[in-house]
Amino acid sequence: MMHRLVLLLLAASSLAQAEVTQRPNILFIFCDDLASQVISAYGEKRQLLKTPGMDRLAQEGIRFDRCLVTNSICGPMRAVIQTGKYSHLNGFYNNSNSTFDSSQQTFPKLLQKAGYTNAVIGKWHLMTDPVGYDYWHVLPGQGAYYNPPMIDNGKPVKHSGYVTDVITDLSLEWLKNRDKTKPFLLMMQHKAPHREWEPPIRHLGHDKDRVYPEPETLWDSYKGRSKAVSDHDMGLDRTFTEQDAKLVPPGNLTPDQLKYWNDYYEPRNAKFRESHLSGKDLVRWRYQRYMHDYTACVKAVDESVQRTLAYLDETGLAENTVVILSSDQGFYLGEHGWFDKRWIFEESLSTPFLVRWPGVAKAGSTDKRIVSLLDLAQTFLDLAGQPQPPDMQGRSLVPLFKGESPADWRKSFYYHYFEYPQPHRVRPHYGVITDRYKLIHYYKPDVDDWELLDREQNPLETHSYYLDPAYAETIRELKVELACLQAEVKDVIPPPRFAHGNKPFEGEMMPPEAKPKGKRKQTKKASEP
C-alpha cells in the first residue's frame, strides 16, 4: 500500500513538473524610442538601416503593423504595461512628476504567484523600485549610455562599457544562473535609442558618412492646422541642442573613449562650424547627424537581439520561449520636422511589435489589426495559463499569435496624452483612432481645437478635414464612438487640472485612484529631455 502511494505521489509530481515546463518562457525585449521606420523588416522606403536580428524575429514570427500606445511617452507606457491600465487609472501620467504606485496589481506579481521566476534588467524609469521581480538590475532614471551606474536589487553599482552591451551581458548572465525549475519572465529593457542618441564607440563611422534620404514631411508647414500642432518645441529647426548634435562630448567617457569620440566627431564638427549654416541648410545638417547617431544606437540594439537569439538557440531555450520585441512608443525621424514622440500622429502612436513563438506563431506572417501595449499584461498572463483580471483594460493577444481571428476584435482605440508644457510644449490631447480616421481634441490651457485626419486620403497626416462639410457625418459618428470609449475606459472628460501630473494643483483634490502610494526609493527621478 505504501509503495503504491509513493508511486502515485511521484506520478503527480511528474505531471506537475511537466505542466510547468510546458508553460512558455517569456522574453520581452523592450527598447526606448525605437521607431518602426528604422527596422528593415518594416520596409520603410528610406532604408535607414539593416537590422538582421529584428528581421529574424519577423521572419520566424509575426510582424504587427498597427500596435498602438495609449499615451506616447516613456514612463507612462511602462506603467501601462505593468498594470494593463490606462494612465488615468494607474496614476502615472507623465515623466515630469509622476511616481508609480508599486502597491497596485501588476502582471509580474501575478506571474510570481503562478510559479514564474521574473527579472527586469535595464531601463525601469518608474521612480520606485521594481516589485514582483525575483531579480532587478536597473538604470537610475534615464540612465547613461557610457559606463552606466545601475542599481542591483537595491545596491548601487557601476559598470564599464556601453549601456546596450551591459544590459545584454547582465540579461544573458541571469538566464544562465536563473532558477531552472521554473518558467521565466525576462524584461530586457534597453535605454537605446533614447535621446541624446549616443552611439557605441565601435559604431562611430558605421555609415561611412552616408547621406540619408529626407522624409517627405521634413518641411511640413502645419498650414491650416491647430496652434497645438504648430506651436511646439520638438523640431530639428528649433530644439536641437549641442548635446543632440554631438558638438560637445558626454561627460562620463573614459580617456580612451573620449579620444575615439574626438577623433571621429571633431574634424566633422570643425567643418560644420566653419560653414556657418542657417535655415534649411542647418536643418539638413542636423537631420544627417541625427540619423547617423540614432541608427548607430539601433545597430547596437540589433546586435544585442542577435546575441540573445543565439543564446536561446545554443541552450535549447528557443523552442519554448515566446520572444516579443517592442518599444515604449514610436518616434519621429524627421517626419513633420520633428524628433521625439507624444503626438497621436502615426509615427509616435504606432510602435514596432514583433513576436516569435516557435510552433505556434506563423513564421513570416503579418497582422494589421489594432493591437496595443495595453494588451501585454493580459497577454503575458494568458501565456502563463493564468486568468485575466477583469479590471485590466486590454485584451490577450494569444489568439492572434495562434492565427485566430476573433470576430469581436477592436475596430477603434482610445488615446490620451497629458504632459505639458515641459519639455516639448505638446498640448494635452485625446482622440479616437480607427483604421482610417483619427478624431482629435486638443484641450486647455490655451487651445480648444478639433482635428480630423483621414489616413486614406492623406496618409502623411498633414491636413485636417474637421471643417470639411463632406466629413460632417463621419465626425458625428466618431464623436459618438469617442464618448463610448471614454466611458469604457473610465476617463474623465474634461480631465481635472492635476491630470497634467499626478500632483494636484493648490486647492484641488486628488481622487483615490490617482494617489501615489509607492514610497520613492533609490531610483531617482530624471525628467525626459
3-class SS string, 442-511: ECCCCCCEEEEEECCCCCCCCCCCCCCHHHHHHHHHHHHHHHHHHHHHCCCCCCCHHHHCCCCCCCCCCC
Evaluate if residue 7 carries a pLDDT over 60.
Answer: no
Q: What is the DSSP letter of 208?
A: T
Evaluate if residue 9 carries a pLDDT over 60.
Answer: no
Q: What pLDDT, on a 0 to 100 scale, did the predictor assign at position 523?
A: 37
Neighbours of 319 (CB within 10 A): 11
Q: Mean pLDDT over residues 402-422, rounded?
A: 97
Evaluate if residue 506 carries a pLDDT over 80.
Answer: no
Strand partners, 430: 416, 441
| pTM for this predicted structure | 0.91
Q: Give the 3-state secondary structure of residue 324.
A: strand
Evaluate if residue 5 carries a pLDDT over 50.
Answer: no
Q: Give the 3-state secondary structure of residue 261.
A: helix
C-alpha dist (Å) from residue 89 to 79, 131, 392: 10, 18, 10
Give the separation between CA 270 and CA 286, rounded to whole angstroms. 14
Evaluate if residue 356 carries a pLDDT over 70.
Answer: yes
Give the separation between CA 529 and CA 523, rounded to whole angstroms. 17
Give the separation between CA 442 and CA 431, rounded to whole angstroms. 9
Q: pLDDT of 131-184, one tens digit each?
A: 999 999 999 999 999 999 999 999 999 999 999 999 999 999 999 999 999 999
Q: Give the 3-state secondary structure of residue 139.
A: strand
- CB distance 87 to 66 below 8 Å: no
Evaluate if residue 516 carries a pLDDT over 50.
Answer: no
Q: What pLDDT, on a 0 to 100 scale, did the predictor assign at position 500?
A: 37
Q: What pLDDT, on a 0 to 100 scale, did the predictor assign at position 122?
A: 98
Q: What angle do CA 142, 147, 149 make, to 5 degrees?
A: 50
Evaluate if residue 515 carries a pLDDT over 50.
Answer: no
The grid coordinates listed for 310 are 543565439
Q: Give the burial string for 233-267 (b: 16+ CB within 10 Å, else e).
A: ebbbeebbeebbbbbebbeebeeebbeebeebbee
Give the separation between CA 132 and CA 112, rounded to whole angstroms. 7
Evaluate if residue 454 carries a pLDDT over 60.
Answer: yes
Q: pLDDT of 289-343, one tens digit each?
A: 999 999 999 999 999 999 999 999 999 999 999 999 999 999 999 999 999 999 9
Q: How far is CA 162 from the centre of its chain?
A: 20
Evaluate if residue 126 carries a pLDDT over 50.
Answer: yes
Residue whose C-alpha cell is 564607440: 201
Q: What is the DSSP letter of 146?
A: B
Which of residues 449 and 500 earns the better pLDDT score? 449
Q: What pLDDT, on a 0 to 100 scale, did the predictor assign at position 19?
A: 43
Average pLDDT, the chain: 91
Q: What pLDDT, on a 0 to 100 scale, did the predictor assign at position 22?
A: 84
Evaluate if residue 60 carries a pLDDT over 70.
Answer: yes
Q: pLDDT of 46-58, one tens digit each?
A: 999 999 999 999 9
Give the separation between CA 220 and CA 345, rounded to whole angstroms. 14
Nearest alpha carbon to residue 300 among 166, 500, 158, 108: 166
The grid coordinates listed for 388 are 485575466
Give the separation between CA 163 and CA 143, rounded to whole angstroms. 9
Q: What pLDDT, on a 0 to 100 scale, did the predictor assign at position 14?
A: 42
The grid coordinates listed for 146 are 557610457
Q: Mean pLDDT over residues 217-234, rounded?
A: 96
Q: pLDDT of 64-93, one tens digit each?
A: 999 999 999 999 999 999 999 999 999 999
Nearest alpha carbon to residue 84 among 376, 349, 370, 515: 376
Q: Give the 3-state secondary structure of residue 152.
A: strand
Q: What pLDDT, on a 0 to 100 scale, did the predictor assign at position 520?
A: 34
Residue whose C-alpha cell is 498597427: 66
Q: What pLDDT, on a 0 to 100 scale, did the predictor assign at position 444?
A: 81
**Model confidence band, residue 110 (pLDDT cutoffs 50, 70, 90):** very high
Domain 22-200+285-514, CATH class in plain words? alpha beta
Q: pLDDT of 248-277, one tens digit each?
A: 999 999 999 999 999 999 999 999 999 999
Q: What is the DSSP letter of 426?
A: P
- CB distance 102 to 522 below 8 Å: no
Tallying the residues shown for the chain, one arrives at: 529
The grid coordinates listed for 333 are 525621424
Q: What is the DSSP letter of 67?
A: E
Q: What pLDDT, on a 0 to 100 scale, did the predictor assign at position 117?
A: 98
Residue whose C-alpha cell is 483594460: 393
- CB distance 170 to 155 below 8 Å: no
Q: Mean pLDDT over residues 355-363, rounded?
A: 98
CATH 3.40.720.10 in the chain: give the residue spans: 22-200+285-514
Q: Mean pLDDT over residues 184-198, rounded?
A: 98
Give the separation between CA 199 and CA 205, rounded to whole angstroms. 10
Q: What pLDDT, on a 0 to 100 scale, did the predictor assign at position 521?
A: 40
Strand partners, 155: 152
Q: What pLDDT, on a 0 to 100 scale, did the predictor assign at position 4?
A: 53
**Residue 170 φ then ψ, to 5°:** -65, -40
The grid coordinates listed for 234 are 520638438
Q: What pLDDT, on a 0 to 100 scale, did the predictor assign at position 493?
A: 78
Q: Is the peptide bond before 421 cis (omega within 30 degrees of 0)?
A: yes
Q: pLDDT of 19-45, one tens digit each?
A: 445 899 999 999 999 999 999 999 999
